[in-house]
């Protein structure tokens, strides 16, 4: 019988093998190479079952992935460390100078995207004969509305962008997942037949969870900063940073606050103020190295799991068509939700290149997959899961691989002679 340790060992082995093959032969971005390797393995498992129906391995793989409790492990475990690691490298001053743009994109943008994607997929499901109700399509919209901070962070590392645009993209991706998770929770409650939630109650819950999470992150980050300022011992300060992540996320869960927002705020505070005023050069070097290793390992496992989760996706031709449509619609909806907002916020001063980069950098990843896998067992779960998977694969493989070219086209083109 497989234990969690056995599963973790197997995942690390696969990550090491795929990482080596990518570095040796493919030379793709690390996370995308990991995802492609896992996809190849998943397709091989599905193909094996088709060729050798007497020796089925796909059900066995489903059991293993089910035992791993991927949604819970991602949302309550690895996500907190990955968000903190990403937030450490973000400048607080850059975020603060563009706070209005970031907050509007991370809140109003998510609401608009949820509605547009929900209505569009309701029509797609109707045309394909899958007949998913509108309320469940809105749940789908909430799942794919937020951009994934881990996927976006990995993409931004590879391209050079103007500091202002980079801060907006990174800040939005760090904050909008909390809004998306809240929207998902409320809509699933309505869709599953729970108590209906009024607009006033929704507004109160949003403010309580989002603002409460931010205040918790500020308090935790400040305490960690004061503790780090009183000592100069890198191993103890690393333990303080670890405790900050786990305690902030745990307390947020207990108080029903937004854990992702709490961790992000704490990470930005430590990465900016503590790095400048509370850490020696030796401590900064060790802190950066420690969290870069955590980020590398967890990112590799995350994208590996995303690729392996294809074995749980089922459906026929119409489901595949709906998933393909969802992938293309996600790009159109992203443009429709961020483009007008960017124009309004900047009083029509935003460049078309900035709008295109905001659109093209809207990658979805582990958060969307985790939310989809946590859906209750209904007749609509598989079509929604397939659509989410189509969006995630399209944004990571197509948009992620071409983001550098889009950035080059709009920001580093040579003037025509």
Of the listed ranges 61-65, 82-86, 113-117, 213-217, the least confidently predicted one is: 61-65
Q: Which residue, 272, 281, 275, 221, is CA-closest to 251?
A: 221
Distance, in Å, from the CA atom of 10 to the CA atom of 87, rounded to the nearest integer, reads 29
At a CB cut-off of 8 Å and minimum separation 6, what does 13 contact?
A: none
Match 């089925």 to its residue by tokens. Answer: 56
pLDDT in tens, 252-305: 989 988 888 899 899 999 998 888 889 999 999 999 999 988 888 888 888 888
Distance, in Å, from the CA atom of 245 to the CA atom of 224, rounded to the nearest integer, reads 10
Compare 178 and 399 and report the one with higher pLDDT. Answer: 399
Distance, in Å, from the CA atom of 301 to the CA atom of 322, rounded to the nearest integer, reads 28
Q: Residue range 408-413: average pLDDT?
A: 73
Distance, in Å, from the CA atom of 82 to the CA atom of 23, rounded to the nearest integer, reads 23
Q: What is the pLDDT of residue 414?
A: 46
Please answer whether residues 301 and 30 qualify as being in contact, where contact means their C-beta atoms are separated by less than 8 angstroms.
Answer: no
pLDDT class of 2 with cuts at 50, 70, 90 = low
Count, residues in the chain: 417
Distance, in Å, from the CA atom of 127 to the CA atom of 108, rounded to the nearest integer, reads 29
**Residue 226, class by beta-carbon neighbours within 10 Å (0-12 exposed, 13-18 middle, 19+ buried)?**
exposed
pLDDT in tens, 360-384: 988 998 788 888 888 888 889 889 9
Of the listed ranges 90-99, 127-136, 157-166, 322-331, the least confidently predicted one is: 157-166
pLDDT in tens, 73-99: 666 678 888 889 888 888 788 888 888
């Amino acid at each position: 019988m497989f234990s969690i340790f056995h599963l973790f060992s197997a995942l690390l082995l696969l990550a090491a093998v795929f990482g080596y093959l990518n570095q040796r032969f493919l030379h793709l971005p690390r996370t995308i190479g990991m995802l492609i390797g896992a996809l190849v393995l998943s397709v091989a498992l599905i193909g094996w079952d088709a060729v050798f129906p007497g020796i089925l391995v796909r059900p066995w793989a489903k059991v293993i992935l089910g035992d791993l409790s991927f949604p819970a492990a991602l949302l309550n475990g690895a996500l907190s460390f990955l968000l903190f690691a990403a937030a450490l490298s973000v400048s607080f001053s850059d975020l603060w100078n563009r706070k209005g743009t970031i907050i509007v994109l991370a809140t109003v943008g998510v609401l608009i995207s949820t509605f547009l994607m929900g209505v569009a997929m309701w029509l797609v499901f109707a045309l394909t004969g899958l007949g998913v109700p509108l309320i469940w399509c809105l749940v789908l919209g909430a799942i794919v509305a937020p951009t994934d901070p881990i996927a976006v962070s990995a993409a931004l590392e590879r391209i050079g962008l103007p500091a202002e645009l980079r801060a907006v993209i990174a800040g939005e991706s760090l904050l909008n997942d909390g809004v998306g998770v809240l929207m998902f929770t409320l809509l699933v409650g309505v869709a599953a037949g729970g108590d209906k939630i009024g607009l006033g109650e929704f507004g109160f819950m949003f403010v309580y969870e989002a603002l409460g999470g931010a205040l918790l992150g500020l308090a935790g980050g400040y305490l960690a900063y004061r503790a780090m300022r009183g000592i100069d011992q890198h191993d103890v300060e690393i333990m303080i940073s670890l405790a900050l992540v786990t305690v902030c996320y745990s307390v947020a869960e207990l108080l029903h606050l937004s854990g992702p927002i709490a961790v992000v705020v704490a990470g930005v505070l430590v990465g900016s103020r503590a790095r400048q005023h509370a850490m020696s050069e030796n401590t900064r070097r060790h802190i950066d190295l420690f969290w870069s290793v955590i980020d590398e390992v967890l990112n590799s496992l995350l994208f590996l799991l995303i690729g392996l989760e294809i074995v749980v996706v089922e459906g026929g031709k119409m489901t595949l068509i709906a998933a393909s449509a969802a992938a293309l619609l996600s790009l159109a909806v992203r443009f429709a939700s961020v483009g007008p907002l960017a124009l309004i916020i900047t009083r029509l001063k935003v460049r078309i290149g900035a709008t295109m980069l905001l659109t093209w950098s809207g990658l979805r990843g582990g958060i969307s997959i985790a939310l989809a896998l946590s859906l209750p067992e209904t007749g609509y779960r598989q079509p929604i899961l397939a659509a989410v998977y189509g969006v995630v694969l399209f944004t990571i493989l197509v948009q992620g691989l071409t983001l550098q070219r889009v950035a080059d086209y709009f920001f580093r083109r040579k003037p025509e002679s």
